[in-house]
Chains A and B, each alone.
Chain A
Amino acid sequence: MKCRKCGQPAVVALKRHNTAFCREHYLEFFYGQVDRAVKAYRMFARDDRILVAVSGGKDSLALWDVLLATGYQADGLYIDLGIAGYSERSKEKVVAFARARGAGLRVVSVREKYGLGIRELARQARRAACSVCGLHKRYFFNREAMEGGYNVVATGHNLDDEAATLLGNLLNWNTGYLARQAPLLEASAPNLVRKVKPLYRLTEKEIASYAVLRRIDYIVEECPMAVGARSILYKHLLNRLEEVSPGTKARFLFGFLEKGREAFAAGEEEVQLKACAICGQPTTADICSRCRTLRRAGVKL
């Protein structure tokens, strides 16, 4: 295959765009897709301070790399989940990445804060690890952004993540989630920060390709808690459809964002948020689910 732009040997084939690119023109394509996402949703501007949530995996490190390479002010936030082995190895990748680029990095440790890792917290609260993890990530994104004076938190969610989430939400008719699934989530209460997903137009394969071409040393192994996750099954199923009919995932997600989401949003009632009596973050109850889960796990608050 030859690069569509310059005729040199191609390194990435993009079936959904019916094209292929050499390294240089692939990077140009990639930056173009991120730029399009950022502009379409006015995610942030040059003078914004961006906090990038980084796990050490390909998506978040690629995102951080793109933002730095294209001249944005972006610092990293690494949440150490205290998962033996995996957390140490992923943290090493993040620290090395930040050091090599002279980029700012904030680190918070779940185990240092509560005396337990995510796995133990979840077990003691009798809840699924990933749902407890999600509560803590949300809490730390908000808290660290407020404390550090960042305008926006950026996450590495990609086209496959979003398409798989959409499929799951549709299969279960989670109308509330469908109303809120978007590449940009405005701050909805005084101490909630805006959240954006600048990679939502790019597939996992495209992001992994970018990471390799940019020589980003990311953690290839998975979080052990992800084993058997429903989202992985959805991704495999969507990729089978994609193979037969390239562009399926993009049509599915972008079509929803353009034509479907608003109908769900219109049917939603406005929820009254108040400050959690313990941590102060917005919640619909008196005490937020993060704090309730911590209490159930026996952590003193």
Chain B
Amino acid sequence: MKVVIPIPERRVHEIKGPKQVHAILKELGLVSESVIVIWGENLLTPDVTVPDEAEIEVRPAISGG
């Protein structure tokens, strides 16, 4: 699957699916409390299994300033 992380610079990761959201985040070294996971117009909870052909966005939710 494709995992897009839009900021600070847009990065696209290839990750082998199917895989659960929490496992995807772990593989990327991300803390679930700091991001939201979007698939199309839907939000995914950590237990959802994402198929290999999907493209999802992992959007950081932490802002500064």
**What residues of chain A have their CB less than 8 Å away from a CB belonging to chain B?**
1, 10-13, 15, 20, 57-59, 130, 133, 160, 203-205, 207-209, 212-213, 215, 220-223, 225-227, 229, 231-232, 235-236, 239-240, 242-243
Contact = CB atoms under 8 A, between A and B. Distances in A.
- Of the listed residues B32, B35, B44, B65, the one surrounded by the most CB atoms of chain A closer than 10 A to its CB is B65
A2 to B, nearest CB: 10
Contacts of A13: 45-47
Interface string B39-65: 001111111000000000001011111
A207 B59 CA distance: 13
Nearest to A211: B36
Contact of B63 (A15, A215, A222, A242): A222
Contact of B31 (A58, A203, A243): A243
26 contacts: A1-B47, A11-B43, A11-B45, A12-B43, A13-B46, A20-B45, A59-B63, A133-B65, A203-B33, A204-B63, A205-B36, A205-B61, A212-B41, A212-B43, A213-B43, A215-B41, A222-B63, A222-B65, A223-B65, A226-B63, A229-B65, A235-B34, A236-B34, A239-B31, A239-B34, A242-B33
Nearest to B41: A215
Top 7 nearest A-B pairs (CB, nearest first) are A226-B64, A208-B61, A229-B64, A239-B33, A232-B64, A13-B45, A226-B65
Contacts of B31: 236, 239-240, 243
Interface string B6-18: 1110000000000
